[in-house]
Structure formats: structure tokens, C-alpha cells
Structure 1
Amino acid sequence: MSTATISDPKANLLPLLEGSSWPGSAEALAQAGVLPIPTSRTEAWKYTRVGRLFDQPFAKANGHATVVLPDRLPFAATRVVFVNGHFRADLSDELKVQRGLVIDSLMRHLSHGPVQENYGKLAPTDDRLFTAMNTAAPTDGMILLVTRGVKVERPIHLIHLTTAERQLVQPRDLFMLHDGADAEVIIEHIAVDAPGALINSVRECVVGKGARLTTHKLQREGHRTTAGGPVSINFDGVRVGSRGHFSSSTTTLDGALVRNDVNVVLAGP
């Protein structure tokens, strides 16, 4: 049950987070209820004004919307599509493309050992309101698991598409590369006619010893929108093992407000 009161500025959002069965959801919901909204006096947020977000009502994300996907990349890639945070197998490519590689909806794998071992470990909720909100009720996201020594043969093109105004979408991705693995992921965030939406994303990346993960993020979150795009808050937590390599680039083209936080932990020399 939400801890928000009628005078709590988070009262429009916290009820949408109730009832989730994701790991750690109850604890994260309680934490979201007590954490303050960041202000200009919050050192890490003094240049990002988010207070007005909490003045408006939001709806839960609708994963059944009819959408038009962007053009294919000019090179071979495995396309994985989420609409308003929900996995769309009907819009995605065949994902069983290589031995030693798992690409799927994260929601389908919450009971699996590697997920239980790594989920939530790199996304702290004790002092991050938006991370706590996401952990309390993720919509869904992509699991990428690459087993020891496997090199993914072609890039993975992950599309997160938002299509409706004033909805709360909370993508949650988990990338896990075992020792010596190698993968490249192109992450495209697109919003189409979604003014006033709040996209609150969390991505955890575990890079094993001697492994290599390369990500390229493209944010087009005001695309085809006359009233301005949604607000997009993004947190990436990364752990890199000994002799591991993590490379990330971000290109942001538009959006009403876009914030990207990346926290990298070096777990070895």
C-alpha cells in the first residue's frame, strides 16, 4: 500500500506503483514514499527541475498500441521492441539466434539464477527517488545474457517506443556478460505523440572478467510531437570486472527534459 498522503506531492504517482510482484518492489515502494522530490538544493539535481512532474495525473502504460517502427538499420542487427515498456514479440525479430545467448523479456526470467544474482544490485534505491519508483513497479525490459567466451555475432537493436501522453513508462533492462563475452547493443528511445509522459528507465549492466560491452543510445523523445516530448529520466548502473571493457555513447536529439545518469563500478584492476 502506498505511503503517500493527500498532501504528498507524489500522490499522483505512487498509487500506480502498487501491486507489483517484481523482486524488491515492496521495499522500493516504501522507499519511494519517504524519499523527497529532488530540488535545486539537491546537489546532484540542481540543474534538473522535476518538481512539476508530480503536479499532473498519469496513467499506466499501454502495451497494445498500434505503432509504426523506424526504418531498419543499414546493417544486420537483431531487433527487439518494447512499446510503452511492454515487450512486443510480434514486432521483434526471432531472438533465438545463437547458442550461448539469451535475448528476451526480462519479466519472463525473474526466477532464473543469474537474474536473481544480479537484479537490483547496481540500482540503489536508498537515495534515488526515480530508481526506487522504477524498482517498485517496472513495466518490463530486455534481458541480455551472454555466456562465457561467447561473442554475439551481430548487434542487438533495442527499441523502446512510447506512444501516448501522460502515461508512466518504466523500462527495466538487465545486461549480463559472463567472463570473456562480447556484445554490442544499439538502444533507441523514441516517443511518438507522447507529450507529458514520464519515461523512467533503469538499466543494469554486468560485465564479467575480460568481457566487452558496447552500447550506443539514441534518444528521439520528442519525435513527431508538436506539444513537446515527454520527460525522460535514465539511470544506468554498471559493474566491470577485471580486464573488462565497457563503452557507452549517448546522442540526444530532443525531448522536453532528458536526464542520463551513469554509475560505473570497477570490480577489478
Structure 2
Amino acid sequence: MSAPGFWLAEHHRAAAALPGAALPWLATLRRQAIERFADEGWPTTRQENWRHTSLAFMEEYPLGTGAHAPTQAAHASLAALRASDPGAHWLAFVDGRFAPALSAISALPAGARIGSLADALAHEPEAVEAAFGRAGDGDSPAALNAAFAGDGAWIRLARGVAVEPPIHLVFLGGGAAHRHLRNLVVAEAGSQARIVEHYPQGGEAATLTTAVTRIEAGADSRIEHIKLQQEGEQAIHLATIEADQARGAVFASHALSFGARLARTDIRTRLGEGAEVLLNGLYHADGRRHVDHHTHIDHARPRGTSREYYRGLLDGSARGVFAGRIVVAQDAQRTDALQRCDNLLLSPRAEADARPELEIYADDVKCAHGATVGQLDEDALFYLRARGVDAGHARQLLTYAFAAEVLERIAHPPLRALGRAALFARLPDAARLEELS
């Protein structure tokens, strides 16, 4: 049972044991957040922001409790991942708790701090308070996260500091039915980092993950964020990514969603003067799975640039939802914004809802948006068949080519390979495709 009453009882039981429970500001925030969630409940299609994705079924979704302990499966999964990018920094979390024995942080430049949120709450609570967010942020799932989150990643970069190796945040399952992560990134002026937020495939149990990642990108900083979601077939994954970009900051988001029964990711960013953002996304769903991405780009100041490219692969009776809004404020003259969402239906039963929006209050701007929903091109299939490619392999080649454009925007080769391997794991005939990629 996962009704609001369940969560009130869970919060009453667990609040005193959460990291930072003795901090007055955090105790107050958590209490306000759980009260807000109890009042609002799970979102339904009656709410405009959730018109295609209802969480009303969560009232009856069977969630339990479990132990917070690393498992042999967690060790094996992480070992394989670390072999794919051996020079990187690795922070591992099991059931939402930092696992030092599974983590490996190499030498860091002076001024770089990479660790767990729980540790930061103990040693630098004032800095965490400034970055944590508020109980009223986002929709009710974000409030649930604020009520329970006590761990996640804490990344703090001083002015001008560049962390060259990628920072991998790996969130493994170890038995718990629900976990709530909050990742905080504070990047001061001129700093640089590449961050991977990864949810590898877990078991087949009914689980809930809520995750909030907040990024403060200082002036002229450069932050690249890759989110790879591969949770199990009965998992519910509800995530929010928020970025606040100061003057000249460059932020790139690559959102790859390949798992979970229902996955929803909200991405919101606010651009200062001359800031640039790339929102690059790829999702695959089959069976009766449901995947939803909502994005909001706020051009608040002049000369901002945004590029948004989302692509979806939908098979079986799956449903994909994309809603993207770009808002250009009156003062945001000379904004340059482009938004596209393209969906490929691989089954007559699959469904896609795409809703790109522009809201423009300035007059000196260059803005465009568009969306498509279609099937594989019959002429392209005929071309491949005429050259000896069998029908099934021809379909897979065209499907992969449709998706590969998104993956090619990931600049770091090991991370691009990680995304490609995750896609191959969802596609039939992957071995033959891998030979050609």
C-alpha cells in the first residue's frame, strides 16, 4: 500500500534516523514536505502537468521495506561498470545509502569536494542548506523526496576548478522497496565537471525511486550531466533535474530512459545572460511500460541559447510522453532557441504524445519547435532489402540509426559507449548491430 497515510506513517517511523535529523532547518523542511505530500497526494490526469501520466494507481501499489546492505549482485554490477571507465571517480549507493566500500574517488584538484550528502550534512550543513531546495519545489513526488531524502551525492567545485575524469554516481538496489536520493552540485564560476547519474537494472520487485538533482552552475562554468535509467520492469522512477545557470554558464543534459514500469523525469533550467543549454534525450519503452519527460527552459536574460532534441522508440503497447516548454522573458532579447521531439512507433499498439511549446514575450528572438510521430520509412526498408539485408535486421538498423543521433551528442567516448550498450540491451539482434556501430 502506498497511499499518503502510508507515507505519513513511514515518515513518523524513519524521520529521527535520517541523516541531518538534528538540523532544525532540515527537520522543518521535511515536516513541511510530508505534510504537503499528504495534502496533495499522488498526481492524476486532472492536473495539467500530468494530463498523460496518472500516479493514482500508487494508492494501491504494494511497497514494503528492506535492509540497507550491499549485495553480491551489487558488487558484480558495479565491477562491470567500473571496468568500462577505469579512470573515473565512482560513488556507489545501495538502497539510497552511500556505500564507501563500493566507491573509488581518485586524487582531486584543490577546491573539489566529491562525497555523500549525508557526510556533507554532518560537516558543512550551511552549504547544504543553501543548495538543498525547498519543501514547495516541484510537484508532490518532489515533496515526497524532500521529506525522505538524506543521502545522494554532494559535489562542490571552487572557482576555476576542473575535474577532468567523469564523476559516476551509481544507485544500486539491495532489497529496499523505496529509496529517495538528492544530488546537489555547486559549481562556482569557471569550474567544469562531467557527471553521470546511473540507475542500473535491478530485480523484478515493485520498487519506488524518487530522485532530485539540483545544479548551481556559476558564471562561465561548464557542466555536463548524463542520466541513465535502466530500472526493473516493475519499478516506478520519478525524477527531477534542476539547473540554475549564471551568466555564460554552459549546461548539457543527456537523459536516457530505458527501464522501469513507469518513468517520469522533469528537467527545468533557468538561463542567465549569454548562457547555453543542451537538453538531449532518448527513451525506449516496450510491453505496457510508460515513459514521460517534461522539460522547461526559462530564458530569463538576453542572448541565451538553447537546443533541445528528444527521440523516442516505442514498441508493444508502450506509451511515450514528451512535453517541452520554452519561455522567453521580455528582457531576454536575442534569444536563440530550438526544440524538437521525434517518436518512432515500432508497433501498431504503441502510442506517443508530444507537446512542444513556445511562450515568447521578447521581440528580437530566433525560436523554432516541432514534433513528429511516425513509423519506419518503407523506402529505406526497401533499399536495405534490395541489398540483401533481411527484413528483421533492416528494421533494427533503421531503429538504431534513428536513436544513434542522440547518443552521438555525448562527447566523452566511454560515456557514449555506456549509453550505446544500454540501448543495445533493449534491442533485438544487438550483437549484429554492435558489429556495425
TM-score (normalised: structure 1):
0.87
Partner of 1:199: 209
Structure 1 residues 107 and 157, CA gap change in structure 2 (3 angstroms): same
2:132, 2:3 → 1: CA distance?
29
Residue 117 of structure 1: CA displacement?
Answer: 1.5
Structure 1 residues 246 and 126, CA gap change in structure 2 (3 angstroms): closer
Residue 255 of structure 1: CA displacement?
Answer: 1.2
The match for 2:69 among 64, 68, 83 is 64
Partner of 1:133: 144
Bigger Rg, structure 1 or 2: 2
Partner of 1:48: 53
Residue 139 of structure 1: CA displacement?
Answer: 4.1
Instruction: Report the AA paired with residue 41 of structure 1.
Output: R
Q: Percent identity?
A: 24
Superposed CA offset, 1:167-209 (max 9, x none): 1110110011001100001121123115210001111111001
The match for 2:257 among 241, 252, 265 is 252
Residue 96 of structure 1: CA displacement?
Answer: 5.2
1:145, 1:155 → 2: CA distance?
14
Partner of 1:211: 221
1:97, 1:112 → 2: CA distance?
22
Q: Unaligned stretches of 5+ in structure 1?
A: 1-7, 223-227
**SS of 1:76 mapped into structure 2:** coil
Partner of 1:117: 130
Residue 55 of structure 1: CA displacement?
Answer: 1.0
Partner of 2:189: 179
Residues 1:12 and 2:6 aligned together: yes
Instruction: Report the AA paired with residue 110 of structure 2.
Output: R
Instruction: Report the AA paired with residue 226 of structure 2.
Output: H
Cα RMSD, aligned residues only: 2.2
Whether the aligned pair in 2 keeps the contact of 1:35 and 1:127 (CA below 8 Å) is no
Mean CA deviation greater in 197-206 or 47-56: 47-56
Instruction: Report the AA paired with residue 15 of structure 1.
Output: A
Residue 221 of structure 1: CA displacement?
Answer: 0.5
Whether the aligned pair in 2 keeps the contact of 1:219 and 1:254 (CA below 8 Å) is yes
The match for 2:244 among 228, 239, 257 is 239
Mean CA deviation greater in 13-22 or 27-36: 13-22
**SS of 2:101 mapped into structure 1:** coil
Whether the aligned pair in 2 keeps the contact of 1:12 and 1:55 (CA below 8 Å) is no
Superposed CA offset, 1:49-86 (max 9, x none): 21112213433463213123241224521111011110
Q: Unaligned stretches of 5+ in structure 2?
A: 275-437
Query: Where in structure 1 do 4 or more consecutive aligned residues deviate above 3 Å?
Result: 59-62
Partner of 1:100: 111
Whether the aligned pair in 2 keeps the contact of 1:163 and 1:191 (CA below 8 Å) is no
Instruction: Kindly indicate which of the two structures has a greater share of residues assigned to helix.
Output: 2
Structure 1 residues 248 and 126, CA gap change in structure 2 (3 angstroms): closer
Structure 1 residues 245 and 254, CA gap change in structure 2 (3 angstroms): same
Partner of 2:156: 145
2:237, 2:198 → 1: CA distance?
13
Residue 107 of structure 1: CA displacement?
Answer: 1.3
Superposed CA offset, 1:232-255 (max 9, x none): 000111101000011000111221
**Where do 1:86-97 residues align within 5 Å?**
86-94=97-105, 97=108
Whether the aligned pair in 2 keeps the contact of 1:163 and 1:193 (CA below 8 Å) is no
**SS of 1:246 mapped into structure 2:** strand
Instruction: Report the AA paired with residue 11 of structure 1.
Output: G
Instruction: Report the AA paired with residue 261 of structure 1.
Output: D
Instruction: Report the AA paired with residue 134 of structure 1.
Output: N
**SS of 1:242 mapped into structure 2:** coil
1:158, 1:146 → 2: CA distance?
16
Residue 127 of structure 1: CA displacement?
Answer: 5.7
Whether the aligned pair in 2 keeps the contact of 1:81 and 1:158 (CA below 8 Å) is yes
2:164, 2:55 → 1: CA distance?
41
Structure 1 residues 94 and 76, CA gap change in structure 2 (3 angstroms): closer
Count of aligned positions: 255
Superposed CA offset, 1:9-37 (max 9, x none): 32222322232527111111111121132
Partner of 2:378: none
